[in-house]
Structure 1
């Protein structure tokens, strides 16, 4: 029951942070912004997602509960900035100069494109694949794409194709 109480408290903080960010944007851009719908159905490694056309924000409940302070101060404004940028500038690069401007100049935050949360509690099963330079741990989805759909993944560093690591035969 304590986790449910914490979630309700954090949900109220998220709502307040969204409203505060939108108030800053309204003052700066001299226009109103509609209040977005908020849900907590984001899964996996993502902390949050902005659904631009739907004016909706999705957040990862588990990561919010585990990282509440940084989540409220960084992730929520990050996603609100995406909505503001879309409504003011239209479709632009997701973390381009417009988004960086809203994050830095308007919200007063360093415009990080990724969170740095511990992901152990949300990481699913992984599969070891190797390239020419190292071992990669692929998600179940990517593993199935390789096994069932004959998809290929290439290492960004060495450009080598990822191949399954041989299981130990000891």
Structure 2
């Protein structure tokens, strides 16, 4: 059963307050006033959020946001905003490079963390069992389809063996 993706107004207001607060912290870095980025609730899967640079938009996962509101307010919104601000100030640079870390920690006063640690069982998609020489792996539908179409071969990061469909018999 799909979760209702209509977010309560109070939740949306908390997200916008965080966005506006962190945007105001960065405003002195820019000669011209920055427009407020739009917020889209179209992020899906296990990704918490993403920054769409040219669209000046932050996309947030509504399910993960509802389940982890304080982390979204304190970490995810500033994380994605930092990507937009870095792009505006420095152009295209490494996504989580020194400019992004500087923007997060020195300007927005938020610890620079690259990934979230949310429980994602409510948004995790179907996985397929694969194995290598040393362990079991779970490939997403997208990766499984790439293997089936012959577009991609995945290898284990530990033993470097190619992944094969099926259960590990080790």
- The two structures have a TM-score, normalised by structure 1, of 0.90
Look up the match of 1:58.
59
- Say whether the 8 Å CA contact 2:5–2:62 is kept in structure 1: no
CA–CA distance in structure 2, aligned partners of residues 164 and 4 of structure 1: 34
Structure 1 residue ranges without an equivalent (≥5) = none
CA–CA distance in structure 2, aligned partners of residues 8 and 138 of structure 1: 36
Q: Which is richer in helix?
A: 1
- Say whether the 8 Å CA contact 1:18–1:77 is kept in structure 2: yes
CA–CA distance in structure 2, aligned partners of residues 114 and 100 of structure 1: 13
How many residues align? The count is 166
Structure 2 residue ranges without an equivalent (≥5) = none
CA–CA distance in structure 1, aligned partners of residues 50 and 26 of structure 2: 19
CA–CA distance in structure 2, aligned partners of residues 5 and 58 of structure 1: 15
After TM superposition, the structure 1 stretch with the greater mean CA deviation from structure 2, 47-56 or 125-134, is 125-134
CA RMSD, Structure 1 to Structure 2 (Å): 1.9
- Say whether the 8 Å CA contact 1:33–1:84 is kept in structure 2: no
After TM superposition, the structure 1 stretch with the greater mean CA deviation from structure 2, 47-56 or 151-160, is 151-160
Look up the match of 2:37.
36
Look up the match of 2:83.
82
- The two structures have a TM-score, normalised by structure 2, of 0.90
CA–CA distance in structure 2, aligned partners of residues 6 and 150 of structure 1: 38
Look up the match of 2:71.
70
